[in-house]
Amino acid sequence: MSDLLANLNPEQLQAVTLPPQHSLILAGAGSGKTRVLTTRIAWLVQTGQVDPQGVLAVTFTNKAAKELLARLSAMLPLSFGHSARGMWIGTFHGLCNRLLRAHHRDAGLPQLFQILDSGDQLAAIKRLLKALNVDDEKFPPRELQHFINAQKEAGLRPHAVEAWDDYTRRRVELFAEYEAQCQRESVVDFAELLLRTYELLERNEPIRRHYQRRFRHILVDEFQDTNRLQYRWLKLLADDGREGGACLFCVGDDDQSIYRFRGAEVGNMRDFEREFRVANVIRLEQNYRSHGNILDAANAIIRHNTARLGKNLWTERGAGEPIRVFEAYADMDEARWIVEEIQSLVRDGMSRSDIALLYRSNAQSRVLEHQLFSAGIAYRVYGGLRFFERQEIKHALAYLRLIANPDDDTAFSRVVNFPTRGIGARSLEALQDAARTWNASLYSTVPHLSGKPGTVLAQFVRLVEDLRRDTARLPLPELVDHVLDASGLRDFYRSEKEGQERLENLDELINAAANFLGESGADAEALAQPHALLADFLAHASLEAGDHQADAGSDAVQLMTVHSSKGLEFDVVFLSGLEEGLFPHENSAVENEGLEEERRLMYVAVTRARERLYLSFAQSRMLHGQTRYNLRSRFLEEIPEGLVKWLSPPSPRGMGARSGAGMRVEPARGGLAPRVAQAPARSQDLGGLRVGQLVTHAKFGQGVIVAAEGSGADARVQINFGSAGVKWLMLAVAKLSPA
């Protein structure tokens, strides 16, 4: 046990050994958050304060859950008499799935209910709109999806939604129709998993009491990312914080809350503190990751935010290197410079996988990839399609879903004519109409159909019936294998010219099934029911879409958005595109507190770096097919000058005023040919001004000329004033002077 607590700093030790009371741990970036969480659990168990089955640990991602479990298993070896077995460790959605399977009857669901991922949900909504003859221009499916999820996350069923206008009233009706459709098809979307579980616990006292008594300690990771419903869910399980309820131990960092746009509610941290009368708030401020200069920069940036719980990171490591800042003429030059810098780092012995290239939006990866590719540097982009989201995998899963649950109309529609078997839109429309009148699923309506469409469809139904019969006694991997062949999917992709990779992925699906079987620890009884096991596998596929296509093993430079870099760390970090409009993103200006979220994002980006941090921006950048001229990001201004080393001489504020001369750090070769943007011919008469130039306006301050039109007395210029916005000004009226 002394082992367990050794090497913790005083704050970490305090957090780990807190008495059984509600606690909030404000864990700064790199402060050993996961360590505190795992050690706390291990300590509680080893000191006999709680049985493993009294522990519930909730995370947001499967990755985090796995890491928690792995580290706990290492800390609590079986020989000690305790182990991680019996604990409930998982994501909110994973745990809800588990609860709903266990109590499906009380939750009003069939045992083999299926889970819709976002794509499935969207398809289901589109199908619904079509069936109800709703104009999808007036009610865009995506918007409706967002609306429905927002209601569910607010804990509202259709009857409880307040609608003041006709439009919302109609959306609420559609919400109700959507719910009816899901119930009919025995499917559950992500938000429904949470809401259903919440309602189950709220309405069913015996079940609620059972879990309230069982879980003595509830630990929550990344608490700043919880949404309203998740917070209420926790409150319910912890019996509202009452005497005798579970202890809540929430770990989070309000400064790293970057998912407001998808419903995360930082306010939950304050609410938790108040509603649970949290006496123990512990700040973990010692950072074990980054050098001093990097931390100082991060602290300086985040200090500009007002709504904070307050925290200041410090380190015992030295100041380290200054932060390197580079200004490029164009996005291409920026990328080229980054690549040259990487080449020199690699020459000095740095491994590529210790280098990360971060950017605000995915579109920015293109230029970087292009330059890396030409230079022959191995790189890996995070954030593409994930395994279970691939087309061929989704098709295979749809067949499997039909075996487990023939009423799943989403799965039915997906593969009824894939591979094509002559079932066109007309036949399907007839089937949909019939299904509506019979109030039954598409699958079960087929026998009621007559005529030619009836016979082709009946063949499809027979195919699925055969699949179900022939796989009833097969082990899961063989079951999948059989379905791939009998469905014709394999044949289809074999005949496709580009089908090779898809075939490999299909084989990989068999491996995934085998792995799942191995990890599930299914006993003989479970093995005897392959179709129940199949339902579990399908839930797994929906809940865990698989890794992004990144081979962790290979030595490649890592490219990703700032969002997906959260939780990771690298020796060297390049943060590119630090320009107004890009980072902070222009859309954030109109959002409530949007700028503060952007700043938190910047804070996350900066704190990813261990040793060295590069910040760069470009005067001009191609975006949506147009060259844009941006000012440099205000976040750069927020870093104290003393921490920074300019690799190019700093221009007044932003850019444009400088010509190509005087670049202090010359790139090895290729050069950064001064690439002053060519103004369009029609805008030459601008009295000495040109597109891309930096100017000063009495009221709006400094800005950069983005475009121009007209001439003489009519000449107008469009100027990007950064925080003051983008404006069209008459040259004759506005007093502009070159900055």
Partner DNA sequence: ATTCTTTAGTTTTTT
Partner DNA sequence: ACTAAAGAAT
Catalytic residues: 33-34, 221-222, 256, 608
Q: 126 or 170: whose CB is closer to DNA?
A: 126
Residue (232 or 283) nearer to DNA, CB: 232
CA dihedral 692, 697, 699, 705 (to 10 degrees): -20
Residue (126 or 317) nearer to DNA, CB: 126
Report in angstroms how near the CB of residue 282 gets to DNA at its nearest. 27
Phi–psi pair at 79, nearest 5 degrees: -60, -20
Closest to DNA by CB, 366 vs 473, is 366
Nearer to DNA, 140 or 652 (CB): 140
Nearest Cα neighbor of 632 from 624, 644, 305, 687 is: 644
Shortest distance in whole angstroms from residue 468 CB to DNA: 25
Distances (CA, A) of 106 to 74, 183, 189, 309: 37, 14, 18, 41
Coil, helix or strand for 250?
strand
Least distance (Å) between residue 98 CB and DNA: 11
Q: How far is the CB of 46 from DNA (least distance, A)?
A: 29
Nearer to DNA, 280 or 549 (CB): 549
Number of Cβ within a 10 Å radius of residue 120 = 23
CA–CA gap between residue 133 and residue 315 (Å, rounded): 62
We find the least distance from the C-beta atom of residue 452 to DNA, in angstroms, to be: 12
Find, among 189, 126, 121, 186, the residue nearest to 153 by Cα. 189
- Beta partners for 286? 314
Beta carbon of residue 506, minimum distance to DNA (angstroms, whole number): 19
SS3 call for 623: strand
Cβ-proximal residues to 468 (8 Å cutoff; 6+ apart), any chain: 403, 531
* Spatial CA neighbour of 621 closest among 297, 251, 257, 364: 364
Q: What angle do CA 9, 12, 18 make, to 5 degrees?
A: 135
Give me the helices (H) in 6-87, please. 10-16, 33-46, 62-75
CA atoms of 372 and 392, how far apart (whole Å): 30
Nearer to DNA, 126 or 482 (CB): 126
**What is the rounded CA–CA span in Å between residue 89 and residue 38?**
11
Q: Which two tokens stand for residue 216?
A: 């003595």
Chain-centroid distance of CA 57 in Å reads 20
Residues 109, 186 contacting (CB under 8 angstroms): yes
Q: Determine how β-strand 88-91 pairs with β-strand 114-116.
A: unpaired
Quick one: which of 271, 220, 229 has its CA closest to 250? 220
CB atoms within 10 A of CB 733: 9
Rounded least distance, CB 159 to DNA, Å: 24
Contact yes or no for 34/68 (Cβ under 8 A) = yes
Least distance to DNA, CB of residue 195, Å: 12
Who's near 164: CB < 8 A, 6+ residues apart?
A: none
Closest CB to DNA among 125 and 200?
Answer: 125
Q: How far is the CB of 348 from DNA (least distance, A)?
A: 30
Instruction: Retrieve residue 511's tokens.
Output: 């491996």
Q: What are phi and psi of 390, to 5 degrees?
A: -65, 150
Least separation, in Å, of the C-beta of 360 and DNA?
7
Is the CB of 247 or the CB of 560 nearer to DNA?
A: 560
Quote the least distance from Cβ 116 to DNA, whole Å. 10
Q: Rounded CA gap, 663 and 530, in Å?
A: 68
Contact assessment for residue 22 and residue 281, using Cβ atoms and an 8 Å cutoff: no
**Closest CB to DNA among residues 468, 563:** 563
CA distance linking residue 365 with residue 357, whole number of Å: 9
Among the residues of 186-326, which ranges form H helices?
190-203, 205-214, 228-237, 267-275, 292-302
**Phi, psi values for residue 342, rounded to 5°:** -65, -45
Decide whether 608 or 658 has the Cβ nearer to DNA. 608
Which residues make up the interface to DNA (CB under 7 A)? Answer: 60-63, 91-94, 117-118, 126, 140, 190, 258-259, 261-262, 360-363, 383, 417, 420, 422-424, 543-545, 548, 560-561, 563-564, 585, 587-588, 591, 594, 622, 624-625
